[in-house]
Amino acid sequence: MDGSSAAFSPAHYVKFHELPPAESSSAARTWYARGQNFVIAYTEATSEAVLARDSQPDEYMLLLPQPDTVAQITAPGESLEVKGYSLVIMPPGDSRVTVSGGQVVRMFTTRNADLVAKCSNANAYAQPNPRIPPFQPWPDPPGGFRVRAYSLDVPPQEGRFGRIWRCTTMMINVIPREPPRDVTRLSPHHHEDFEQCSLALEGAFMHHLRWPWVANQHHWREDEHVHCPAPSIAVIPPPAIHTSAATAPAGNQLVDIFSPPRRDFSMMSGWVLNADDYPMP
């Protein structure tokens, strides 16, 4: 079936604290949820915890959103310490991340079948969304695969949207914390052929979605207005019109994740903060 004429796929909302963790120990609890091309592993560590990957097939991202977290990282041929309030791009192969505590988010592709199986919404993608092209990684970094750490302490700049980084498999936009949004200044928009994962790390968000009316009424879907307190994800499918509004009194933190990286954001001069490390196709 031509993807453009296929029935619309639903959005998926995963509110982690309403579900039992997939992994639990005295040191940490971890929840998993997925989109078509990505897996989000959300961890809350109360003490030192080890997050290891063996024979990792591709790059993944490690987000340490809290400043007081410290991570000891080992990967092929290197070992280093990374302080919190950082984004780390991890190379393929065996790796080990030992965190002192706090929130930890890892972002993988669905090439990691062992992680896909742990996702609370694993069955939601028994049939792939035909409107999303098959996953293709972006070019390898000219400097080779290695651990790359980037501070989130990036001051705002007029004309630049958020704080955006990319690698071969993912793009992440760490949006600054925000107060409740002015509902007269929302930003409804849509994407033709990729999902958006909106990860709420603090506060709460109302996600508003509307699907187009097409000639085939059987494809119509009802509007959705879904309240997602942190920690949670909303996976927004194409071509749903969507916008999100922070609702907690203060400190609302949203992170947008895309797999593979977005070409439109990458075309904007200065938007991707590590563009020199990762070329476009």
Superfamily of domain 6-126+145-266: Jelly Rolls (2.60.120.10)
Mapped onto helix, strand or coil, the DSSP state of residue 124 is: helix
Measured distance CA(104)–CA(86) in Å, rounded: 10
Mean pLDDT value of segment 140-147: 97
Mean pLDDT value of segment 73-95: 97
Measured distance CA(5)–CA(215) in Å, rounded: 10
Of 170, 43, 34, 51, nearest to 113 by C-alpha is 34
Mapped onto helix, strand or coil, the DSSP state of residue 23 is: strand
Q: Residue 136 in contact with residue 260, Cβ under 8 Å? A: yes
User: In the prediction, which pLDDT does 220 show?
Assistant: 96
Measured distance CA(56)–CA(108) in Å, rounded: 10
If one counts every other C-beta atom within 10 angstroms of the C-beta of residue 139, the result is 10
On whether the pTM is more than 0.75, the answer is yes
User: In the prediction, which pLDDT does 16 show?
Assistant: 98
Tokens 């990458």, located at residue: 266
pLDDT confidence bin for 6, thresholds 50/70/90? confident
Per-residue model confidence as pLDDT tens digits over 217-270 = 999 999 999 999 999 999 999 999 999 999 999 999 999 999 999 999 999 999
Tokens 């947008």, located at residue: 256
User: In the prediction, which pLDDT does 3 show?
Assistant: 57
How far is CA 106 from its chain centroid?
Answer: 8
Task: Please provide the average confidence, as pLDDT, over all residues in the chain.
Answer: 96
Mapped onto helix, strand or coil, the DSSP state of residue 125 is: helix
User: In the prediction, which pLDDT does 5 show?
Assistant: 75
pLDDT at 77 over 50: yes
Higher pLDDT, 1 or 263: 263
Per-residue model confidence as pLDDT tens digits over 168-214 = 999 999 999 989 989 999 999 999 999 999 999 999 999 999 999 99
Mean pLDDT value of segment 65-88: 98
Q: Residue 138 in contact with residue 278, Cβ under 8 Å? A: yes
User: In the prediction, which pLDDT does 106 show?
Assistant: 99
